[in-house]
Structure 1
């Protein structure tokens, strides 16, 4: 196991290099110029050339990328072309907003979808099963951005309740913080929740037909004990895989969620950077997101081994 973890960790720099290099090359090919954005009405060829030299945009794409990478290894990811603020400082400031949104989204997916999927399997073809399956199909059929629009428009009309606007850190006001995140988290969680419900139900049905589950029942164990100790633990292995992937999906989805709900996180920062051709910000966001995703998948592999001791990595 130790060798496996070490090998995975050694692959992290390679993965991040490929991600950042590909991003740097692609964004250089996209139309638009940060110099035009900065100068706008005061644009002149002389000012444009001077600003390009100041920002290092007069370098070729390969030279610019490897210069950025050598500085990044020392913890310097450069400064934003638009705001002139160090990118690392902006990432540190916005990271708590994004990580709270992502973690809450994944937790809601897990704590809602897994119990519902298990209930649907245990009560197969019953009212609960049919209701849960219909609900999951409806959730799958409606795009998340449509749900987001309804979530913004209808609570004030139906219930006279308007979610608080403006991000408030948890340590300052926990209640207001949870109110701010309530709708964004629900909207973000719905996308994969239906898939998790259906997957959990399918895996639970398969496990409940196994001989060891029938043996546990024949010993007189209660249904709750059989499901919790014997069935659910084994059914969760493929579900954990999807949950790990959902972390990456949630990390990518924050770009849309943060824009719709005006949350000042990394997703909104990266989206604005793409629109403004602020490619140092985009590269840093991709590296940071890639690192988080790789680490989460490593944790998922370790959880595999904990759920099923027969799983070993060589």
Structure 2
């Protein structure tokens, strides 16, 4: 296990290096000059050239990349060319907000998905199964921004309730934080629930036909014991796989939900950097998200060994 962990950690180096090169290259291919955006349309060529020099944008791309990646290796994410603030503290601050939103949304999705997915599997081809499958199809088909917009309109027009604008941490004030995060978390939870519910149903349908399930029933075990005690753990690997992938995507891809509900998370921070052509913000933010994503996948691989002791690394 230790050797496997060391190999996986070492394998992160070329992955993150490739992502850094890709992001750096794409950003510099995007039309728009950060100096021109910061100075406005009335800026003189001399002022733009001076700002280019102060930001290091007059240097060759290879030199800019080596300077940036050298700072990253030292833990220096640089400063924002737009605000002048250090990037790493902002990323950590914004990521804590995104993390709370993601955890809340994932919990809502799992609470909905796993019980109904199991119920749909053990009552296959019944009315309950049809309803669950239709709900799953709707959850997968409807984009999250549409769900969020409907929730905002519904609660504001019919219930006259508007979620608070100021973000509060769950550690500071759980009640106020619940009010802030409930609608965006439900928006994300519906998307999570659709995918996990579909995978739960498929995994349980496959497991319920195994010989050990028939043996467990032949011994006189109750349906609850068979489903939870025998089928659940043996069906967990594909469920954990898709759940882990969704967590990784949500941690870095919740930008639409954050923008819709005015949540100042990491996704919105990166999006603002893209609008402002703030290269250090986007590069540092994307690389941080990539690191989190690969660490989540590593954690999922380790969970496999706990679920199924036959898996050895």
2:222 maps to what in 1?
222
**Contiguous gaps of at least 5 residues in structure 2:** none
Query: What are the Cα deviations for residues 123-172 of structure 1, in whole angstroms up to 9, with x where unaligned?
Result: 22233222211211222232211111111111122222222222112232
Q: The residue matched to 2:235 in structure 1 has which SS?
A: helix
Give the Cα separation in 2 of the matches to 1:62 and 1:109.
Answer: 44
1:128 maps to what in 2?
128
Q: The residue matched to 2:254 in structure 1 has which SS?
A: helix
Give the Cα separation in 2 of the matches to 1:51 and 1:35.
Answer: 6
Give the Cα separation in 1 of the matches to 2:105 and 2:136.
Answer: 17
1:205 maps to what in 2?
205
User: Which segments of structure 1 move beyond 6 Å, counting only runs of 4 or more?
Assistant: none
Give the Cα separation in 2 of the matches to 1:295 and 1:20.
Answer: 16
- 5 Å-filtered alignment, 1:97-246, equals 97-246=97-246
Query: What are the Cα deviations for residues 61-82 of structure 1, in whole angstroms up to 9, with x where unaligned?
Result: 1110111111111111110000
Contact 1:105 1:250 in 2 (8 A): no
Give the Cα separation in 2 of the matches to 1:89 and 1:20.
Answer: 20
Of the structure 1 ranges 299-308 and 120-129, higher mean CA displacement relative to structure 2 is found in: 120-129
Contact 1:274 1:282 in 2 (8 A): yes
Q: RMSD of aligned C-alpha atoms?
A: 1.3
Q: CA deviation at 1:295?
A: 0.6
Contact 1:199 1:239 in 2 (8 A): yes
Give the Cα separation in 2 of the matches to 1:34 and 1:152.
Answer: 34
**Contiguous gaps of at least 5 residues in structure 1:** none
Give the Cα separation in 1 of the matches to 2:62 and 2:307.
Answer: 45
Q: CA deviation at 1:41?
A: 4.6
Query: What are the Cα deviations for residues 177-224 of structure 1, in whole angstroms up to 9, with x where unaligned?
Result: 011111111111222421221111111011111110111111111111
